[in-house]
Amino acid sequence: MALAAVPGDGGATQGILRRQALRESAARTYARALPIVPVRARGMTVEGADGRRYLDCLSGAGALALGHNHPVVLDAIRAVLDSEAPLQVLDLATPVKDAFTDELFATLPPGLASRARVQFCGPAGTDAVEAALKLVRTATGRDGLLAFSGAYHGMTAGALAASGGAPADGVMAAGAAAAGVTRLPFPYDYRCPFGVGGERGAELAAHWAEKLLDDPKGGAPHPAGMILEPVQGEGGVIPAPDGWLRRMREITAARSIPLIVDEVQTGVGRTGAFWAVDHSGVEPDVMVLSKAIGGGLPLAVVVYREDLDLWPPGAHAGTFRGNQLAMAAGTATLAHVRQNNLAERAATVGGRMLERLRRFAAGRPQIGDVRGRGLMIGVELVAPEAGFATGAGVAPTGAGPVANPDHEEAPGGTTPYEVSPGEVSPYEASRYEASPGGGAPHEASPGGTAPCADAMRTAAPPAAPALAAAVQQECLRRGLIVELGGLHGAVIRLLPPLTITDEQTEAVLDRLTDALDASIRTAGTHSRELPPTAAPFAPPSTGDHR
């Protein structure tokens, strides 16, 4: 359905933006890089107060599986409002809640659904993460937690401690130390923490985790649980290999460690399967769900095995866990995605987008990697002028991304070493200092032996956050909303709604590739400064939008 025209009023828009900058918290994020004032939205189209229209590839950070104001969602909300049903009921039983639970359980992995319990949490995904951590600690009587570099699980204390990188880095580090979190390397093909990438890199990551758990002096006492994302979203859209996920399931099951899978952003068809774990066949002990399950309204739940249901009444609570409008909208969304095979559609459209973006990346060394799964796509931008030596038998990184028909080419997060922006990890630094002949450095693997020199990969160039910021602004000029993430915010992230049409798909790709070329031309291969062309859409106040 077309949007009715909105009279342009740039003056009013600028006034609203100025007042926001003066009155809202310095912690605001999206508003800094996306200085627009949305007044109407339908499907994938957002219209600003100044009359400009945009294609939205942010989708409420993935919360809008069906896009803005989808008719089935609006009808479900209106039905609740017209029924005069209570809108907030704490954790009391209602017909609306019962219908939502039925639909949710119908979509879960069968083995989990047949023996599951559900806890309704506060409205944000981070609260569901907190509940999951509390659940496994209560059930096991243990405190420690296994988490992964590059992860993002939310901004409350426990979720932040489990995250491998977040905007408030100093707060995150302090929280992690207090929470007894052991950080494990996540297989990240493009920036492999072991310098090999591919299946071998994933094998080493799994081997590291297994040996650490079985080593009485490894520093990781028997933990209460392991938490991971099947695709690291904020970490840079990095899919975990299916084989590696199955190995994590085997490792945790063999040691009676509950496996928590965070599907807050990957769920409800986003990755080309209803739940991202469906790709691998893994059935976790605990699933953390939010964003799209509320149909665009605040809702978060934890689903878990019934034998873990050992916490007492009131062990986790929240005033707004009985949001009836969100449950009705969520039921409609879950049913629409399931009945109309939108997960399969996401796999098809996402594959087409990846293929075109990879073709476009060839010959453009500033595009280091193109990766994703379904309609969760990332384009990592780099500074190729660093000119690192190429390892034996490996094509230069600048030659473009490595294609993988299984879309498992880039699993992971950041390296397991904590580094500040502009720096590289000690491991990557050692690779950059390889001998003049291009030989690989001697870096020990978790088993204590150095990887074969012939298997060493070229070190990826440094991230290019200024270029990514410029691309985001050039996209905005062209009427396209995209998000940034990954290492230093240098990954362009696409999260279009599952209802994206073929015509919209081509428009998104046309605008994005045009914005990439414009930014690359303007910035050049040596400039780290934000191009002047971004100035008209500069944020209304200074500061890092992340």
406 burial via Cβ count (<10 Å: 0-12, 13-18, 19+): exposed
Supply the DSSP string of 11-37, one letter for each residue.
HHHHHHHHHHHHHS-TT--HHHH----
- Which of these ranges, 39-53, 99-113, 315-329, 380-394, has the smallest mean pLDDT? 380-394
Phi, psi of 315 (to 5 degrees): -65, -30
Place of tokens 């039921």: 331
Q: Which two tokens stand for residue 527?
A: 């400039």
CB 505 within 8 A of CB 355: no
pLDDT for position 366: 97
Residues whose CB falls within 8 Å of the CB of residue 453, separated by 6 or more in sequence, listed in order: 391, 392, 439, 440
pLDDT for position 545: 32
Q: How far apart are the first and last CA of the chain?
A: 33
CB 530 within 8 A of CB 470: yes
pLDDT for position 54: 98
pLDDT for position 523: 78
35-65 in b/e form (b: 16+ CB < 10 A) is bbbeebbbbbbbbbbbebebbbbbbbbbbbb
SS (H, E, C) 40-91: EEEECEEEECCCCEEEECCHHHHCCCCCECCHHHHHHHHHHHHHCCCCECCC
pTM (two decimals): 0.83
Q: How confident is residue 427, by pLDDT bands cut at 50, 70 and 90?
A: very low
Q: Determine the distance from the C-alpha atom of residue 187 to the mean position of all C-alpha atoms in its chain, rounded to a whole number.
A: 15
Mean pLDDT across 231-255: 97
Beta strands in 382-455 (DSSP E): none
pLDDT by residue (tens digit) across 487-537? Answer: 899 999 999 999 999 999 999 999 999 999 999 999 764 444 433 333 333
Q: 438 pLDDT exceeds 70?
A: no
Residues whose CB falls within 8 Å of the CB of residue 313, separated by 6 or more in sequence, listed in order: none
Of 281, 187, 179, nearest to 235 by C-alpha is 187
66-96 in b/e form (b: 16+ CB < 10 A) is bbbebebbeebbeebeeeeeeeebeeeebeb
CB 511 within 8 A of CB 353: no
Mean pLDDT across 67-82: 98
pLDDT for position 301: 98
Give the torsion through C-alpha atoms of 342, 346, 352, 355, to 10 deg: -160
**Please, what sign has the CA dihedral across residues 370, 371, 374, 375?**
negative
Tally of CB atoms within 10 A around 98: 12
pLDDT for position 200: 96
Q: Which two tokens stand for residue 260?
A: 């928590």
Q: What percent of the chain has pLDDT over 90?
A: 75
pLDDT for position 12: 86
359-395 in b/e form (b: 16+ CB < 10 A) is ebbeebbbbbbbbbbbbbbbbbbbbbbeebbbbeebe
Selected residue with higher pLDDT from 428 and 311: 311
**Please, what sign has the CA dihedral across residues 113, 118, 123, 129?**
negative
pLDDT by residue (tens digit) across 261-275? Answer: 999 999 999 999 999
Place of tokens 């019962």: 98
Selected residue with higher pLDDT from 415 and 493: 493
Mean pLDDT across 34-55: 96
Q: 343 pLDDT exceeds 90?
A: yes
Residues whose CB falls within 8 Å of the CB of residue 437, separated by 6 or more in sequence, listed in order: none
pLDDT by residue (tens digit) across 131-185? Answer: 999 999 999 999 999 999 999 999 999 999 999 864 444 554 444 454 689 999 9
Residue 516 to residue 468: CA distance in whole angstroms: 9
pLDDT by residue (tens digit) across 206-237? Answer: 999 999 999 988 888 899 999 999 999 999 99
In one-letter notation, the amino acid at residue 453 is: A
Q: Which two tokens stand for residue 262?
A: 């965070």
pLDDT by residue (tens digit) across 312-322? Answer: 999 999 999 99
Among the residues of 215-341, which ranges form H helices?
242-254, 324-339
Tally of CB atoms within 10 A around 439: 13
How crowded is the C-beta side of 479, counted as CA atoms within 13 Å? 15
Q: What percent of the chain has pLDDT over 70?
A: 78
Q: How confident is residue 9, by pLDDT bands cut at 50, 70 and 90?
A: low
pLDDT for position 89: 95
Q: Which two tokens stand for residue 467?
A: 């270029």
320 burial via Cβ count (<10 Å: 0-12, 13-18, 19+): middle
Q: How confident is residue 428, by pLDDT bands cut at 50, 70 and 90?
A: very low
Residue 283 to residue 261: CA distance in whole angstroms: 9
SS (H, E, C) 252-271: HHHCCCCEEEECCCCCCCCC
Q: 543 pLDDT exceeds 50?
A: no
pLDDT for position 392: 27
Residue 483 to residue 137: CA distance in whole angstroms: 35
Q: Determine the distance from the C-alpha atom of residue 375 to the mean position of all C-alpha atoms in its chain, rounded to a whole number.
A: 11
pLDDT by residue (tens digit) across 361-400? Answer: 999 999 999 999 999 999 999 999 854 433 322 333 333 3
Q: Which two tokens stand for residue 517?
A: 């070329």
